[in-house]
Amino acid sequence: MRPNALRSLKAAGTPILTGWLSIGASYSAEIAAHAGYHAVTVDAQHGMMGFDVALAMLQAISTSGAVPLVRPSANNPAEIMRWLDAGAYGVICPMISTRGDAEAFVAACRYPPVGVRSFGPCRGLLYGGPDYFAGANEVILTLAMIETAEGLANLEAIVATPGLDGVYVGPNDLALALGCTPVPESDDPVMIEAIARIQAATSAAGKLSGIFCGSGAGAARRVREGFDLVTPGNDAMLLKAAIAQSLQAVAQAGQ
């Protein structure tokens, strides 16, 4: 089976960069996949696309060496299994608030006897290889999103879930849950403490720590703080910033 490069990068201590796709287009997905990210995540929770378009985006990502990841709309076993069958090599699952949530998520990603994933890998076989079934349980990456006050309170129990590969911080929802302003690189002491606690607990358990960031500079800050995987903004944010920069350059030339 095709190896999951993110596991090797984590073992080597190499910071992992993942792109984040909210625009429903296979062309932009292909551009992002060839830009140099180690992984590219299709956001099926807040992204502007349905399953058919997201499938084409996974196919576009597969033209590169970037690992295809998906964030499903919810911790829904049927949906998670469908994304894996479509060729996702890892799942970043939103709203994991309890150990039970984490266990259900991991079970949906693993074939029996360790999980409940139904057999029918379809495109997973094309991407992963003919021995997909034999290796999928060890290769597919499972990352639980901590983005609620309850999830933060249950952090240690969640991180200790067997089969869970790591945690991914959703800073905006976590900020809202803690009564803070949703800013990815918030300097609110409450958020600083919460994010540091998540990173420390995850690393202490020997698991992968990831976080969404508002920019490249924000992602660099999180790497310095010890995070293994960072997302330096999504495609829409980067497109908006690039357009604004171009318009500003032209406006300044005319002054």
Q: Catalytic residue numbers?
A: 46
Cα 69 to Cα 114: distance, rounded to the nearest angstrom: 22
For 62-73, the DSSP string reads: TTSSSEEEEE-S
Cα 105 to Cα 75: distance, rounded to the nearest angstrom: 6
- What tokens does 115 get? 């999980």
> What's the CA dihedral at 114, 54, 24, 212 to 10 degrees?
20
- What tokens does 191 get? 């958020």
Cα 252 to Cα 255: distance, rounded to the nearest angstrom: 5
Cα 195 to Cα 139: distance, rounded to the nearest angstrom: 27
Contacts of 8 (CB under 8 A, 6+ apart): none
What are the distances in angstroms from CA 148 to CA 151, 180, 228?
A: 5, 12, 21
Cα 230 to Cα 112: distance, rounded to the nearest angstrom: 31
Contacts of 115 (CB under 8 A, 6+ apart): 106, 107, 108, 109, 137, 163
Burial class (CB in 10 A: 0-12, 13-18, 19+), 187: exposed
